[in-house]
Amino acid sequence: MDLLVNIDVDDLGRATDFYTRAFGLKVSRRFGEGGVELMGASAPIYLLVKAAGTPASKQSNQARTYERHWTPVHLDIVVKDIDAAVHQAVAAGAKVEQPARSSNWGKLALMSDPFGHGFCLVQFVGRGYDEIATPA
């Protein structure tokens, strides 16, 4: 199984600028005016233009919004230096929602991109999640 990450945005140029500057991703391919493929993460990231106010699906009456919104799915971006990564993301246009905090497995900062999507920056320390995991 392969994983592809799709992120809806309302401004492809602004989104491409943000994701390449914030995370060091590189544009791999363009799909006309409607999309960009970014590489440099463990899975390809596709930025897809979807106008604000359009329905999220044919079965949904929920419209897309690019103000800060909540979704049960978000990206965790693993970094080597969380302080530098937070600084880089903020310089590119991200917002810090909760500054980096430490735990026995690592550090975590809650962020959002300019399109209202939440994401976390994660820096593992020690054995990472193995510090708190129990066998299945």
Cα distance between residue 108 and residue 76, in whole Å:
9
Cα distance between residue 7 and residue 126, in whole Å:
32
In a domain, 100, yes or no: yes
The answer to whether the beta carbons of residues 110 and 118 sit under 8 Å apart is yes
pLDDT at 56: 84
Cα distance between residue 54 and residue 57, in whole Å:
9
In a domain, 78, yes or no: yes
Query: 3-class SS at 74?
Result: coil
Per residue in 75-101, pLDDT (tens digit) is: 999 999 999 999 999 999 999 999 999
CATH code: domain of residue 76: 3.10.180.10
Cα distance between residue 115 and residue 104, in whole Å:
32
In a domain, 59, yes or no: no
- Asked if pLDDT for residue 71 goes beyond 90, the answer is no
**Domains in the chain, number:** 1
pLDDT at 5: 97
pLDDT at 88: 98
In a domain, 58, yes or no: no
- Asked if pLDDT for residue 58 goes beyond 90, the answer is no
In a domain, 28, yes or no: yes
Enter the DSSP assignment of 12.
H
- Asked if pLDDT for residue 60 goes beyond 90, the answer is no
The domain in which residue 81 lies consists of: 5-53+65-131
